[in-house]
Amino acid sequence: MIFASDNWMGASDRVAAALVEAAAGHAPAYGNDPLTASVEAAFTRVFEREVAVFFVATGTAANALSLAQFAKPGGVVFCHRDAHIAVDECGAPEFFGGGSRLHRIDGPGGKLLPADLAAAIAAYPAEAIHHGQPAAVSISQLTEAGTAYAPAEIAALAAVAHAAGLPLHMDGARFGNAVAGLGVTPAEASWRSGVDVLSFGGSKNGCFAAEAVIFFDPARARGFEFHRKRAGQLFSKSRFVSAQFSAYLEGDHWLAMATHANAMARRLAASIAAVAGAVVALRPDGNEVFAAISKAADARLREAGAVYYEWPPAGLIAAPLDNEMIFVRLVTSFRTQPDEVDRFVQTLSAIDA
């Protein structure tokens, strides 16, 4: 009953096997190897267009360097109030942007609304040197509320960003879960809807450590290799990231894993929703479930070995929690088993004394 985070999980057998296989041989360093070339080709197939792909070590690096590519002096990046870049990256986007500001905007269900984005951008008119200048817009897919932007929602935000001359970045730490959950193609969930640069995450969904920055217009990636190298993010044995992505992408292994994790989350949400007293905050679009449960149930679950985090409810649930309830986040993974879900819900639903 490990629902703490998808990054608590190990790596998929196929990904592990690919890494071991690559360990045997030798190859040019710094990404100048055949395996890396083949993975770049695989990304082009996955996204149905030529893309520029850059591996980095972490999702934080992927986000911060994506945004650094578009940094300006006094630059402002617009994002959701709860965005990972704003809450959980220790100022990396600000640092790599040479002092960028993250302008945080509230929005329901973890999503930015186009009108709110437009209003925020409008607070930095071009002639107002003192305020700074808009540099980029960043959204998360899945959002921090476990929801997924539909292509039309992305397109509406992209329209606002592009009208202001700003690129649209997508933090896709759980991009696989979003694509699987939406039932659209990777292209539809990204560039066809106006995304310019994507942090494509593999670590949370079955890899050891495999993250990539993907520019959908390779011309806009010009010079990015210097950003990456200067950041200490160019692996000498870069092909070991390639090996992971190779297995990850092959035969849509990544989408199969995400689909499984999503199914486990839906099963979990549906079951919790049926428990008296428990409340599921939002319909999960991916592999995250947010719920209010009783403190008594929480105690029983902890005792039974369930692992998960208490979570700030703000923005995820309308009514304030009563004192006997706590709010929690439950994350499923490629490895979550149905019986784990079922045991969790049985323990949860045992009648509170």
Segment near its own copies (CB under 8 A); pick from 9-17, 114-122, 154-162, 251-259 = 9-17
Asked if 87 interacts with its own copies (CB under 8 A), we say: yes
Sign, CA torsion 258/262/263/264? positive
Segment near its own copies (CB under 8 A); pick from 107-115, 125-133, 136-144, 284-292 = 125-133
Asked if 320 interacts with its own copies (CB under 8 A), we say: no
CA torsion, ordered 17, 18, 24, 29, to nearest 10 deg = -150
Cα–Cα dist 60/77, whole Å? 15
Total of chain residues touching its own copies, rule CB under 8 A: 78
Cα–Cα dist 215/33, whole Å? 21
> What is the three-class DSSP state of 227?
helix
Asked if 37 interacts with its own copies (CB under 8 A), we say: no
Asked if 229 interacts with its own copies (CB under 8 A), we say: yes
Q: From the list 141, 233, 242, 349, which residue makes contact with its own copies (rule: CB under 8 A)?
A: 233
Per-residue binder mask for its own copies (CB under 8 A), 269-288, x = binder:
--------------------
Provide the minimum distance between the beta carbon of 188 and its own copies in the complex, in angstroms, as a whole number: 27
Per-residue binder mask for its own copies (CB under 8 A), 127-166, x = binder:
--xxxxx---------------------------------
Asked if 253 interacts with its own copies (CB under 8 A), we say: no
Q: From the list 39, 59, 110, 148, which residue makes contact with its own copies (rule: CB under 8 A)?
A: 59
Contact 35, 246 (CB under 8 A): yes
Residue holding tokens 């972490």?
Answer: 58
Residue 132 or 284: which CB sits closer to its own copies? 132
CA distances for 125 relative to 76, 122, 159, 269, angstroms: 12, 6, 18, 44
Q: From the list 15, 46, 137, 269, which residue makes contact with its own copies (rule: CB under 8 A)?
A: 15
Segment near its own copies (CB under 8 A); pick from 85-93, 248-256, 272-280, 340-348 = 85-93
Q: From the list 35, 46, 52, 61, which residue makes contact with its own copies (rule: CB under 8 A)?
A: 61
What are the φ/ψ torsions at residue 68 (nearest 5 degrees)? -60, -30
CA angle 45, 22, 30 (to 5 degrees): 75
Contact 59, 173 (CB under 8 A): yes
Contact 286, 41 (CB under 8 A): no
